[in-house]
Amino acid sequence: MARLPQVVIIGGGFGGLAAARQLKRVACEVTIIDRHNHHVFQPLLYQVATAGLSPGDIASPIRWILRKQPQLRVLLGTVERIDTAARQVWMDGHDAVPYDFLIVAAGATHSYFGHDEWSAVAPGLKTLDDALAIRRRLLLAFEEAEREHDPARQRTLLTFVVIGGGPTGVELAGALAEIARQALRSEFDAIDPASARILLVEAGPSILPAFPEGLRASARRALRRLGVEVREGLAVSQVEDGAVAIGDERIEAHTVLWAAGVSAAPIGRDLGPGLDRAGRVPVAADLTAPGHAGVFVVGDLASFSHQTGQPLPGVAQVAKQQGTHAARNVARLIRGESTRPFRYFDPGNMATIGRANAIADFGFLRVSGFMGWLMWLFVHILFLIGFRSRLSVLLQWAAAYLTYQRSVRLITRNPGS
């Protein structure tokens, strides 16, 4: 029996899963490697971080998702090196996985713009562990403020700074305001949670720069109605334990959350040289890594500028479409055909700002407010993996809408538990 081509996929995120599913009926053996055993629906991570959803509502085991593909295996491990000359992927320092074709969908991590020391006091949001640690930090701030007798220290405990005005930062700030103003009201004796100060800081001229000005203005108004202080055009110059420097102003803040930037996964260095400033691999029109036969790069790790002259954004739809296209090109190569260039279809852009308020830009249609929120809700439920996840999320959001409550306000002893 002839040996089947070996296809290795690095990463079980949107791009990796899309590629694996596309290869279901292709005559090849597929190995998917990820350092977590689960796939996370990242657009809803902030809901876990702000006690709106449980981790199981937005995550599923990779093995379960791909259980109907008998010629696929899943390996739990950290990819440390790609040897393109030997066509091998090295895991955890000692396990080598050979490949004929490689799809790298390793994603991205937090970027602190040269200040990695800030990560200890300003956590970002990329994984379930991040979300649970942030949830614990947020809820503990209110609990500690309840016990605090010093008014100045109490104000510090009830001051929250979100750095970065993209969708993640806006959604975090809006959800945090909901917790303080609605979910926790009347639950404390010594403090008024509604007195919490929440700041959203954006170094650029405007929050949500990918949206048209009308929708940005709508989001800005919605945040301010929730009590969020929106600071635009101000860069953070220092982050330390208990304080943030914004321009010339020093703000005492117990909780600082980072949503300001991302950097491509370091494994991209093995596919250089010529990486861009964010560490992404400039790919060819067919998503191959130049100079590396049989290697495709997709998602946050790929810098694809052939369509508009600017790199595509690091969003789920880009990763899914690129993962699917890379797998189709692998199938073409297996059949002895030529690869085809990738073309991105933009389905639109969405962001939610607190309870029953969101903005949506579909190009031909721009919506804000309650109607935008309904569209946002429908789209996110539609793309969740598994009927159980969709039903659970729908029920929890319905309960939150009717009661103003956040249903998963659990403080775990271990941030990663």
Tokens of 98: 């050979």
Q: How far apart are the first and last CA of the chain?
A: 47
Residue in 29, 117, 146, 171 annotated catalytic = 171
Query: What b/e string do you get for 288-322 counting C-beta neighbours within 10 Å, with b at 16 or more?
Result: bbeebebbbbbbbbbbbebeeeebbebbbbbbbbb
Other C-beta atoms lying within 10 Å of the C-beta of residue 262: 21
Other C-beta atoms lying within 10 Å of the C-beta of residue 340: 13
d(CA 360, CA 373): 8
Say which residue the tokens 């500028």 belong to: 305
DSSP letters spanning 316-346: HHHHHHHHHHHHHHHHHHHTTPPP-------
d(CA 148, CA 34): 43
Catalytic, 178? Answer no
Other C-beta atoms lying within 10 Å of the C-beta of residue 365: 9
d(CA 405, CA 171): 17
Tokens of 74: 């899943």
Which residues are annotated as catalytic? 171
